[in-house]
């Protein structure tokens, strides 16, 4: 069966992208990477992608007057790559409702909290301030409202006494690197579908919950 083609959008170091690169290098993984696109020319992830021999592109948002003009160039490159699914992996630009709707149910994101808790930035600081005992990460289909949309999978980690935001971030990141490839596999193999804005999985898969502990 043909593999699902991914376009991965990054803005920074690209460790989640790296986890997807590694997963895609496994012969029977159902997806392959068609394009890595960064909005920042200095994103460290671009070097990692090039080292893996992947096609890369830079669309520097600072060179465009409007969000729409920036996104139009990105869309053309993504379309030209033949991507079936767009994976946001630390992509730090808000996307317009038009872009999100064009890619509805084909655009996914990883967020470093157990949504719907802690959408937005500084999730680890906020989790510590709230005193939650479980924290984690979520992979979800993207909707126009930020960090919102049907949840594909989640991974939980404990919050330990003495945690700092940095320590907690490291623990969550390990979980992110497991969760993102697992969710891509679920979608690419057709075992997860959106129905009435909820992700339904085949009964034998029964959702995706990873607890690395």
Q: Which residues bind ligand GRF (CB under 6 A)?
A: 10, 12-16, 89-90, 110-112, 137, 173, 176
With DSSP H G I counted as helix, E B as strand and the rest as coil, what are the percentages for the chain, rounded to 5? 35, 25, 40
Residue 178 or 200: which CB sits closer to ligand GRF?
A: 178
Residue 140 or 185: which CB sits closer to ligand GRF?
A: 140
Residue 93 or 200: which CB sits closer to ligand GRF?
A: 93
Give the pairing type, strands 4-10 and 85-88.
parallel
- The CB-of-174 to ligand GRF minimum distance in angstroms stands at 11
Length of the chain: 213
Q: How far is CA 204 from CA 164, 182, 207, in A?
A: 38, 15, 9
Q: Hey, which residues does 193 pair with through a beta bridge? A: 200
- The CB-of-180 to ligand GRF minimum distance in angstroms stands at 8
Indicate which residue of 111, 124, 140, 177 is catalytic. 111
- The CB-of-191 to ligand GRF minimum distance in angstroms stands at 23
- The CB-of-142 to ligand GRF minimum distance in angstroms stands at 11
Beta strand residue intervals within the chain, DSSP E: 4-10, 31-38, 56-58, 85-88, 107-111, 134-141, 151-158, 192-195, 198-201, 209-210
Residue 90 or 149: which CB sits closer to ligand GRF?
A: 90
DSSP letter (8 states) at residue 40: S
Q: Is 111 an annotated catalytic residue?
A: yes
Cα four-point dihedral sign 18, 155, 207, 94: negative
Would you name the residues annotated as active-site residues?
111
């Amino acid at each position: 069966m043909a593999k699902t083609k991914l376009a991965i959008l990054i803005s920074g170091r690209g460790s989640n992208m790296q986890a997807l690169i590694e997963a895609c290098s496994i012969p029977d993984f159902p997806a392959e990477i068609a394009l890595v696109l960064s909005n920042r020319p200095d994103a460290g992830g671009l070097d990692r992608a090039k080292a893996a021999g992947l096609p890369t592109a830079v669309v520097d948002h600072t060179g465009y007057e409007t969000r729409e003009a920036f996104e139009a160039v990105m869309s053309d490159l993504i379309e030209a790559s033949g991507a079936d699914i767009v994976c946001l992996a630390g992509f730090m630009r808000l996307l317009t409702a038009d872009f999100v709707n064009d890619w509805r149910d084909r655009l996914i994101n990883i967020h470093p909290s157990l949504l719907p808790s802690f959408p937005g930035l500084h999730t680890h600081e906020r989790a510590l301030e709230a005193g939650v005992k479980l924290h984690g990460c979520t992979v979800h289909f993207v909707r126009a409202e930020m960090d919102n949309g049907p949840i594909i999978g989640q991974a939980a980690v404990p919050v330990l006494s003495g945690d700092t935001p940095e320590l907690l971030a490291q623990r969550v990141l390990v979980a992110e690197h497991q969760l993102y490839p697992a969710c891509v596999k679920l979608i690419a193999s057709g075992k997860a579908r959106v129905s009435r804005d909820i992700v339904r999985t085949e009964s034998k898969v029964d959702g995706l919950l990873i607890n690395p502990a």
